[in-house]
Amino acid sequence: MSELITAARPYARAVFEMAQSEKTLAKWSEALAQITSICEISDMQMALENPGLTKQQKAELLIEAAGDTLDQPAQNLLRTMAENDRLVLLAEVTTLFEQMRAEAEGSIEAELISAYEVSEAQQKTIAESLKKRLGRDVKLDMKIDKDLLGGVIIKAGDLVIDGSIRGRLEQLSNTLSR
């Protein structure tokens, strides 16, 4: 996984720098999200893994699947990545681009994982606390994981706060086994 991110970083950085200089960050976010979602379709995955297709044919297949929505720079990105046999990195490029964009815009996406639904008021309180701690606007993405038993896990960039019962039980088990 870390090898994929390392290989994807130069592409994400190049796209980000171009998008930032041309003030087209939102446009690139949409294009990358669309390309990534197309690549997640099982038929497209099989086609991209087909050794009978040339690198150029794979790029053109993606461009055609996107229809008229991809501008020339986005098409050029796909052709370059295909030429370098890097189409498998598209999801990582998208993720890294979004992280760079959020950082440049002074915001961060945080994942709030809970065993149960968290109210809007509670989410707002958590987001405000994270904003104070991280110094950036926080957008919470709520997920439910019944295996947690109770409590929450918050993931924001490299920060992980595990306040779940499962996490505490694992800590207790590790402590007792020493």
Q: What is the pLDDT along the chain (178 residues), one digit of tens a residue?
A: 568 888 999 999 999 999 999 999 999 999 999 999 999 999 999 998 999 999 999 999 999 999 888 999 999 999 999 999 999 999 999 999 998 998 888 888 889 999 899 999 999 999 999 888 888 888 888 999 988 888 899 988 778 888 888 888 888 888 898 8
Cβ proximity of 133 and 98 under 8 Å: no
- 141 is in which domain, residue-wise? 107-176
Indicate the number of domains in the chain.
2
Rg of the chain over CA atoms, in angstroms? Answer: 20
Q: Report pLDDT for 1.
A: 55
* Rounded Cα gap, residues 110 and 104, in angstroms: 16
Tokens of 85: 């046999």
Whole-prediction pTM value?
0.66
Instruction: Give the number of other CB atoms < 10 A from CB of residue 30.
Output: 14
End-to-end CA distance of the chain: 31
Q: Report pLDDT for 147.
A: 85
Nearest alpha carbon to residue 56 among 89, 72, 78: 78
- Domain edge (last residue) among 72, 102, 132: 102
Looking at the structure, tell me whether residues 11 and 61 fall in a common domain.
yes
Looking at the structure, tell me whether residues 16 and 79 fall in a common domain.
yes
Sort strands 107-114 and 137-144 into parallel, antiparallel or unpaired.
Answer: parallel
The CATH number of whichever domain residue 94 belongs to comes to: 1.10.520.20
> If 0-12 CB within 10 Å is exposed, 13-18 middle and 19+ buried, where does residue 28 land?
buried
Nearest alpha carbon to residue 89 among 141, 30, 156, 13: 13
Looking at the structure, tell me whether residues 10 and 31 fall in a common domain.
yes
Residue where the block lists tokens 């019944």: 146
